[in-house]
Amino acid sequence: MIHASKVKPRHFAINGDCDDAEIDRAQSIEPTITTNKQEINEIGNPDLVGSPAQAPTIGYRLTQLEYGSMEYWKKLANKADAVETLTLDDFTTSTFDICAYLTDDNGTFKGTDLYPNLRTSGFSITIGNPDAIIERGFDFVGEAAIEYQGDNKYYIYVRHDAESAADDTVILSARPPAIDPDLSDYMKRIVRVRSGVSVELEADEYTYTNGTNTLVIADVEAGDIFKIWYTSAIAPATQFTPNTSDPAAIFANSVDIYLYVPGSGKPSSEDYLYRLQSVTLDISLTRSDQKEIGNDKIVQRGVDDKIVKVTLGSRLESATIQEVLRGVAPGYGKLDVSKFTDQAVLIVKIYSDETKTSFKYGFKATGLALAESRIPVTVKTYANTESTLEGKNLTITEDVDELV
């Protein structure tokens, strides 16, 4: 049997100057495969003619505990570590592989489960109550699921930085590539990153020689980055490195949350939301990833629509949220919902701990309007209120100045 502690998830950003990394603080990984078989019948035949399958549909759900790092957000967006700020547009064309290296209770490596060419279809940040650990949730989509075993049991990533136009050869003898038993080739994918533009190479743009484990690339310029994937019977240098530098988890007491309407300067202490009981940021990306006739692969990636939904739960004690949305001072005598703004801004700052002395990163949702308000009251309980705001824009940043 394979225990969760022996499942080692790893993320591979396909495009950009962005390398692989283990997936830290993961609590659950839930891939779902739909085979999309189509039943074929014909007139005059009582039997099933066949059930040919189209490309499968892959759904991949990942949950993490918040640990105060933007690293994984950058990997999802295919951005370099030096990038400090992301917007929803950064998730439009990014793509990535997720694999799990599998070892059984006897210490025997069994193989690699691979979900290639995934894209982000949504994510969420949830603070369930004042004592809760902050949680992240991610939803990905794809069209393939592969289990590698035997001579192909390890999924390997190699990066080659070309120092000159003559630096066109990569020696792979440390972990020799294994031939794909279905396709009779060795390389799974080679991506060239040149001047920030990523292009997947065609088979005639490189040559691999099995006897010498040598990969020669046809078109090379100084400064090119080549990202190479293949399978091997030899283990990668790293499968999973536990993250011992970031917090184990971050609790609800380690955030600041502000809600305000632009126009009156930076958010102040008057815009701080007190008495909050729960906060959820739920982002949905309506993907528009296109195929073409004669090809079973995605050839263009895009997003038709973006929805940012913010749900704020609080005690029915004051009308702070309603006053902000109305754009009036505390105690204003009339809060008419038809006059609420559609330009509210929510800011969430995440710190390393409850002292709030070390800012880690944060979220800013802009252009928010009230979508729904609920005030459930039941016997023997304090009354609560729940407000849902919706918009189209979200910024994720390590730069605190970007938040304000």
Name the percent of the chain lying above pLDDT 90.
75
Q: What is the pLDDT of residue 264?
A: 57
Are 362 and 403 spatial neighbours (Cβ–Cβ below 8 Å)? yes
Residue 309's contacts (CB-CB under 8 Å, 6 or more residues apart) are 280, 281, 282, 283, 284, 371, 388, 389, 390
CA distances from 105 to 3, 4, 247 (A): 7, 10, 28
Q: What is the DSSP string of 323-354?
A: HHHHT--TT-S---GGG--S-EEEEEEEESST
**CB-based contacts of 69, cutoff 8 Å, min separation 6:** 24, 243, 246, 360, 361
- Residue 256 reports pLDDT greater than 80: yes
Distances (CA, A) of 111 to 20, 225, 242, 393: 19, 28, 20, 41
User: Which residue's entry shows tokens 């105060």?
Assistant: 68
Look at the alpha carbons of 198, 204, 205, 211 in this order and tell me if their dihedral is positive or negative: positive
pLDDT tens digits along 220-246: 999 999 999 999 999 999 999 999 999
Identify whether the C-beta of residue 139 lies closer than 8 Å to the C-beta of residue 121.
yes
Domain ranges of the chain: 154-232, 252-403
Q: In what order do the strands lie in the sheet with 214-217?
A: 169-171, 214-217, 206-209
Q: Which tens digit of pLDDT belongs to each residue from 352-380?
A: 999 999 999 999 999 999 998 887 777 87
* pLDDT attached to residue 318: 60
Least confident of 36-45, 330-339, 393-402: 330-339
Which pLDDT score, from 0 to 100, does residue 4 have?
93
Integer angstrom CA distances of residue 228 from 43, 177, 206, 207: 50, 11, 11, 13
Token pair, residue 372, equals: 């729904």
Intra-chain end-to-end CA distance of the chain, in Å: 50
The DSSP letter of residue 201 is P
> Who wins on pLDDT, 267 or 348?
348
Q: Which residue has the higher pLDDT, 327 or 177?
A: 177
Instruction: State the average pLDDT over residues 135-160.
Output: 97
Cα–Cα distance, 359 to 402 (Å, whole number): 13
Mean pLDDT of the chain: 92
Give the alpha-carbon dihedral of 51, 139, 27, 84, to 10 degrees: 140
As its CATH architecture, domain 252-403 has Roll (2.30)
